[in-house]
Structure 1
Amino acid sequence: MEKGLAYSILEINETKDEDEIKAAYRRLLSTVNPEEDQAGFMRLREAYEEAVRLCSEDDDKEDDTKDPYEELKDGSEVDRFIYKIHLLYSDLKRRTDPASWEEVLSDDITESIDNEMEISDRILIYISNHHYMPKECWQVLDRKFDYSERTEELSEKFPPDFLSYVNYKINNDEFIRFDLIDNADENTDEFIDSYLSAKFGIDTYINEGLQRMAHDKITDHTPDDEEEKSRKEFDQKTIDEIRSN
């Protein structure tokens, strides 16, 4: 995403003030319903991440490639646990495996009365920007921290629309074809963003085309059959095109 576009979406002037960026993100997050406008929700998230990244951008290319979560491994006990979560999420194969989440969440620190609430909140903060995983993995988190049952309580700390998005992910199947991108590198989420941007565009085109086909009665297949066929073909084509660029 271009720098100017990121600030435009956040409705702020170019700035290096992370507090201003976060405030703009939280304000706009409350105006976007991810269940009704997932594309808008992802676009806002992308703008926020780009603006935060630009805050720490300098001429040192080595710093540009540094993982911002690396410093957690030398922090507090909770910091080190969140770093484990980050390592899990960074590995697409493990990220999409519910058993891997169960293994990490079985750490004794998650049973500590002193740390449980902090860990619960910090995982929510982490997944607000790292949320591409199957429903079954969201459900592992929910069984551990009761997010879906604590919506009212959590609304004192997190935007209601974000909590609605979490509940949506817990209760609905993910349409992303993770099996087609199991060899993606450390930029997996950027890869998925590109895939989804293309998919949202083609879905609109397909749906409009199907309406015309149904109206003109020029096919022996039902619209649902055609839609499923077209989307499956496009899924693989999109993945191949993104990988080739």
Structure 2
Amino acid sequence: MFDRRSLLRTAAFAAPALSLTTGTAAASVRPRTLAAAGGPLVYGVLGDSITGRGSFASRNDTAWTALLQARLAKDWQVTRVDGSTSRDAANLTCLATVNTIPFGCDLVVVGLGTNDCHEQRNGRYVYTPHDTRIAARGLFRAVAAANPCAVIVSLGVWGDRSVRWSVDDWTPPVSRVAYWDAIIAECCLESGGIPLSCADLYDTSAYRLPAGRQAFGGNVTDGFHPNDAGHGALYQRVANQLGLA
């Protein structure tokens, strides 16, 4: 598991993903569009319940990463490679609980940081801005180093932007979701990735309600995670950025 306390230093490869015990810094200039259609394309996916597992979609193929894969397959010969994650003490997937990342990809989508932003214990937020910046910076450097020719796209936090939070006791409260989005975007950009905010999609209640509907994998919609319409909106945002609309 990635150690929050240090940046990744060297690269160690293991099929089908790069072990996230080590890593290297990556160049900031990276491809912003995919290569010409017609050939093979390796599609990497790394994320939490929304991106990595597609949770609360009604079927596996309506998860946003599956929708993107289906769209890519219209123009390329697609091979998908998923990274692997573990969980923190609260059983949540966070920026620092990634074990392996996809490598050798042409496109990598990353969806992490929502739990880092929201997780609370005993009424207090668990992760600080410093925690998130160190974890995100190390992770994006490792993703970029493992995928030197890839377009890297990162989703920000899925959540309510109206929730206010203060860095300390004397600083005026700000949107915690927006604050975490800015940290993740900063670290993504440092490694040449493309950050995309998605919190505005959360604001559309039709993208996550009603709760109590059956979803794949034995899940039941909870009113927080995206439903099929929400996954469709996430897919469309990334597809538009990639020029696949």
Higher strand share: 2
Rg larger for: 1
- What TM-score do you get using the length of structure 2 for normalisation? 0.32
